[in-house]
Amino acid sequence: ACTMFSMFFFLTLYIQTVLGFSPIKTGLSFLPVTFIIAVVSGIVANLVAKIGYKPPMVLGPFVLAIGLWVIASTMKVGGNYWANVFPGLATSAVGMGLTFVSGTLAATSGVPKHFSGLASGILNTSQQVGGAIGLAVLSAVAFSTINAEVSAGGPARHAQVHGYKAALMIGIVLAIVAVIVTALVVKNEKVDAKEAMQMG
């Protein structure tokens, strides 16, 4: 959550202030994410009954980290959407699709039915809190980098890009930490996703 929310924040700033997209065009540029997450989530929902929810839950943050690395590596002044945004954004969306269904099942599987609402609530709250904390930390990194470069006389737009890249690199570290924690802590279990969702 720390990484995902922050990625959308910095990409929005990059697309609008550096690439010069309008707010509506910026919103439309994120539309492919919805379709990619929907397709990948559907595949994961079918897979968890065969391989369990842990493999996609471990793979998801790793793929997200790759997507962030692609974004950070290609982001530049004078770039364009298809070359400098879409490849990393699409890769990150695949990582999100792997994570959403598997993470929800891991958080709610084995919970007594009368506690399922509470478990879902805790999951949603933790995602929102994690996103807020992550955004605060990564924003501090980004804008301190931007301010330092501008104060030194660097061009504003180049400073913005360098700041966003610095924040995304921290996001990559957080995603890798999520991979390690999930691999070590989460126990695997094969779950019928459709049945589990109906029970929830």
pLDDT tens digit sequence for 49-91: 999 999 999 999 999 999 999 999 999 999 999 999 999 999 9
pLDDT recorded at residue 109: 82
Q: Flag whether pLDDT at 199 surpasses 70.
A: no
Q: Flag whether pLDDT at 121 surpasses 80.
A: yes
* Distance of alpha carbon 140 from alpha carbon 146, whole angstroms: 10
Q: Flag whether pLDDT at 33 surpasses 80.
A: yes
**pTM greater than 0.85:** yes
Nearest CA to 191 among 64, 63, 97, 57? 57
Q: Flag whether pLDDT at 196 surpasses 70.
A: no
pLDDT recorded at residue 132: 94
Nearest CA to 158 among 86, 81, 78? 78
pLDDT recorded at residue 170: 96
Mean pLDDT of 114-140: 90
What value, to the nearest 5°, has the Cα angle with vertex 112 and ends 106 and 118? 70
Instruction: Enumerate long-range contacts of 113-119, CB under 8 Å, 24 or more apart.
Output: 113/199, 116/199, 116/200, 117/200
What totals of helices (H) and strands (E) does the chain contain, helices first?
9, 0
* Distance of alpha carbon 99 from alpha carbon 109, whole angstroms: 15
Instruction: Pull the structure tokens for residue 59.
Output: 């793979």
Cβ(105)–Cβ(130) below 8 Å: no
* Distance of alpha carbon 15 from alpha carbon 196, whole angstroms: 39
pLDDT band at 115 (very low <50, low <70, confident <90, very high): confident
67-83: b (≥16 Cβ within 10 Å) or e: bbbbbbeebbbebeeee
* Distance of alpha carbon 45 from alpha carbon 177, whole angstroms: 24
